[in-house]
Amino acid sequence: MSNLFIPIDQFLDQFAQRYRPRSVEIKSLTLRQLYEYLLDHNIQSWNNCDQACLQKYIIYRHKGDKQHATFSKPLSLTSLKTHLASIRVFFDFLESKEIITSNPARLVKTPKVQQALPKVIAVDTIQELLDQTPDPDNPLEIRDLAICELFYSSGVRLSELTALDIKHISLSANEIRVMDGKGGKDRIVPLGNKAKEALQKWLTIRDQWMKQDNALFITQQGNRLTSRQISNRVKHIASKLGKGLKINPHMFRHSMATHVLESSQDIRSVQELLGHADISTTQVYTHLDFGHLSKVFDSAHPRAKKKPKK
């Protein structure tokens, strides 16, 4: 066995004294794979495993190698980030033992994890969903449709809607005051006509129920609806369409942002509606409908306009 492995054993022994077995197992697998890679490339000393070497290794693991049994499967960006974190901790250990003079792993770039695009409900589907006629014998459906209308109208987060009280709604001013669910500033959000009508119907019913709480949305016992209860009721409303739709509350927020941005092209207003502190968070919605953006480009850009046929 190469001398490369001796510090790995020492590190794992020390690490095992302070951390859970699963964490030790992950570190062990990572370092054994790195060890195998270094031997394959005839690197016999940790001092020869510099930044360039480690960067090549990370790229190699990202691409995978079908010809190599250990490295045949490419690592995802998330797995690579965890992989590199383990290597950095190990090289800190090597530095502390003066086996190396500095930690080259700290200079290796951490792969960027690609942000998954939010799932958006098509406009036609949303219209069909919200235009459902509630069962007159089931007041819960009137409440649930009001919840869905408010989600789509305001783009509030689930935690924000759950926290809404009666006092936060102003039907006369067509607005709601949202207590920011991410610890930022509270914000005023306009209330659409459809959402206003749905809320008016719901408030008539709410006044007839036991009211032990000031919450806007309550159970028949008068208690504030929980986030889980609201999520389940949204799924119930979606299931009534019979199209196998899998809809969660956050999809209304994504859909509102996308549809407003597509119509207005005003990203600053969408940022304010959503309560994003940084516009870069809002910019994810500009990538959702490339077809729409392509049409805008083709019609508006002076070098993209098609010349009329002669």
Ordered DSSP codes for 168-194: GEETTTTEEEE--TTSS--EEEE--HH
Average pLDDT over residues 243-254: 89
Residue 28 has pLDDT above 80, yes or no: yes
Check 61, 253, 254, 259 and give the catalytic one: 253
CA 308 to chain centre: 44
CB proximity list for 294: less than 8 A, separation 6 or greater: none
- pLDDT mean across residues, the chain: 86
The structure's pTM equals: 0.59
Residue 199 shares a structural domain with residue 239: yes
What is the torsion angle, in degrees rounded to the nearest 10, for the CA atoms of residue 202, residue 206, residue 208 and residue 210?
160
The per-residue pLDDT for 293 is 47
d(CA 260, CA 282): 12
Residue 116 has pLDDT above 80, yes or no: no
Residue 150 shares a structural domain with residue 21: no
The per-residue pLDDT for 283 is 76
DSSP state of 218: B
305 is a domain residue: no
**Percentage of residues in the chain having pLDDT higher than 70:** 88
Check 37, 57, 152, 285 and give the catalytic one: 285
d(CA 218, CA 233): 12
Residue 136 shares a structural domain with residue 219: yes
Residue 101 shares a structural domain with residue 220: no
Question: For the domain that residue 155 is a member of, what is the CATH number?
Answer: 1.10.443.10
Where residue 31 falls among pLDDT bands split at 50, 70, 90?
Answer: very high
Distances (CA, A) of 284 to 52, 264, 297: 33, 16, 18
Where residue 295 falls among pLDDT bands split at 50, 70, 90?
Answer: low
The per-residue pLDDT for 305 is 53
281 is a domain residue: yes
* Secondary-structure percent of the chain, ordered helix, strand, coil, rounded to 5: 55, 5, 40
Q: Which of 57, 72, 107 is the last residue of a domain?
A: 107
pLDDT tens digits, 118-174: 788 889 999 999 998 888 788 999 999 999 999 999 999 999 999 999 999 999 999
209 is a domain residue: yes
Residue 138 shares a structural domain with residue 78: no
pLDDT tens digits, 64-77: 999 999 999 999 88
Residue 196 shares a structural domain with residue 94: no
Do the strands 175-178 and 169-170 form a parallel or antiparallel pair, or are they unpaired?
antiparallel
Check 68, 97, 106, 182 and give the catalytic one: 182
Q: Is 182 among the residues known to form the active site?
A: yes
Burial of 3 (0-12, 13-18, 19+ CB in 10 A): exposed
d(CA 263, CA 293): 11
d(CA 91, CA 38): 14
The per-residue pLDDT for 269 is 85
Domain of residue 270 covers 123-298
Check 88, 157, 196, 233 and give the catalytic one: 157
Residue 256 shares a structural domain with residue 182: yes
Q: Which of 44, 75, 107 is the last residue of a domain?
A: 107
Question: For the domain that residue 90 is a member of, what is the CATH number?
Answer: 1.10.150.130
Q: Do 103 and 92 contact (CB within 8 A), yes or no?
A: yes
Q: Which of 107, 137, 162 is the last residue of a domain?
A: 107
Residue 81 shares a structural domain with residue 163: no
d(CA 105, CA 91): 7
Q: Is 276 among the residues known to form the active site?
A: yes
CB proximity list for 22: less than 8 A, separation 6 or greater: none
Number of domains present in the structure of the chain: 2
Q: Is 250 among the residues known to form the active site?
A: yes
Residue 230 shares a structural domain with residue 278: yes
More confident residue, 306 or 262: 262
| Nearest-10 crossing angle of helices 77-96, 21-40 | 90
